[in-house]
C-alpha cells in the first residue's frame, strides 16, 4: 500500500512564547522585582571571551531591567546589562557575564618637608565586580582605539571614581589605568590597562 505524506505533516511550528516559558531563568536586580530572562549565546564566533561572557537576553516587553543594572541569575552568575532595545512584543538586552573582582587604588605622594619620599595607596574601590578580557596583538590590528600599551580591558560599574593613572589589582597583578571610556557602555566604565611598573 502506498501512503502519500504531505509536506504539512512535517512542518515545525515555532512558538516563541513556549520557548521563553521553557528555557527562561528567574533573575534579580537590586531594588527591582524579579523577572524572567531567556539567555542565548550572542553568536557563533570562536573567540573564547565572546562565547563565555557575552549573551543576548530576551525580556518581557515592559521589563524594568535597564542599562546599568547588575543581573543575578541565582545560579552563581552575575551579568552587566550593557544595552537594551525595547519592543512591543519583547525587550532584548545585551549582557556581559562578570568573571572577576578588582581593587582600585590611587597613589598619593608622601612628603618630608618639600621632598617626595614615597607613595601610599588610597583605596577607591575594593572587591568590585568586573568583566576583563586579555588584549592580543591581533585585536590591536583591527581596533584603532586600543593603545599600544594595553594588555587588558576591564568593564566596571560607574560606582567607582576611577581615573587615568590609578592602579587596578586583578588576579593579584597590578595594572595601570591608561584610558577611561565613559561613553561606549552607559552605566559602566570601560578601562584600558597596561603593566604598572611604579614602585609602592
Residue owning grid cell 576591564 = 154
pLDDT value at position 138?
Answer: 87
Grid cell listed for 21 = 516559558
130-184 per-position pLDDT tens digit: 999 999 988 888 888 899 999 999 999 999 889 999 999 999 899 999 999 999 9
Residue owning grid cell 614615597 = 118
Task: Give, for all 200 residues of the chain, the pLDDT tens digit.
Answer: 555 555 555 455 545 556 556 678 999 999 999 999 999 887 666 678 888 999 999 998 889 999 999 999 999 999 999 999 987 778 899 999 999 999 999 998 777 777 776 778 899 999 999 999 999 988 888 888 899 999 999 999 999 889 999 999 999 899 999 999 999 999 999 999 999 988 76
Grid cell listed for 195 = 603593566
3-state secondary structure of 157: strand
Please count the other Cβ atoms lying within 10 Å of the Cβ belonging to residue 35. Answer: 20
pLDDT value at position 114?
Answer: 76
Grid cell listed for 178 = 591608561
3-state secondary structure of 7: helix
Please count the other Cβ atoms lying within 10 Å of the Cβ belonging to residue 12. Answer: 5
Please count the other Cβ atoms lying within 10 Å of the Cβ belonging to residue 179. Answer: 17
CA–CA dist 185, 44 (Å, integer): 23
CA–CA dist 56, 140 (Å, integer): 26
pTM surpassing 0.75? yes
* Alpha-helical segments (H) within the chain: 16-23, 48-53, 137-142
Amino acid at each position: 500500500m502506498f501512503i502519500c505524506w504531505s509536506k504539512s505533516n512535517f512542518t515545525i511550528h515555532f512558538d516563541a512564547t513556549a520557548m521563553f516559558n521553557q528555557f527562561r531563568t528567574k533573575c534579580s536586580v537590586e531594588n527591582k522585582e524579579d523577572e524572567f530572562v531567556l539567555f542565548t549565546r550572542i553568536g557563533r564566533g570562536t573567540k573564547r571571551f565572546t562565547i563565555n561572557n557575552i549573551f543576548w537576553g530576551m525580556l518581557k516587553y515592559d521589563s524594568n531591567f535597564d542599562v546599568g543594572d547588575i543581573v543575578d541569575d541565582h545560579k552563581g552568575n552575575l551579568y552587566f546589562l550593557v544595552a537594551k532595545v525595547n519592543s512591543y512584543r519583547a525587550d532584548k538586552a545585551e549582557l556581559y557575564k562578570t568573571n572577576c573582582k578588582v581593587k582600585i587604588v590611587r597613589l598619593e605622594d608622601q612628603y618630608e618637608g618639600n621632598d617626595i619620599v614615597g607613595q601610599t595607596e588610597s583605596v577607591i574601590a575594593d572587591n568590585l565586580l568586573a568583566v576583563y578580557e586579555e588584549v592580543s596583538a591581533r585585536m590591536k590590528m583591527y581596533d584603532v582605539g586600543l593603545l599600544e600599551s594595553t594588555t587588558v580591558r576591564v568593564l566596571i560599574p560607574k560606582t567607582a571614581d576611577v581615573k587615568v593613572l590609578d592602579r587596578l589589582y586583578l588576579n593579584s597583578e597590578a595594572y595601570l589605568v591608561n584610558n577611561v571610556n565613559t561613553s561606549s557602555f552607559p552605566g559602566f566604565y570601560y578601562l584600558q590597562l597596561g603593566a604598572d611598573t611604579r614602585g609602592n
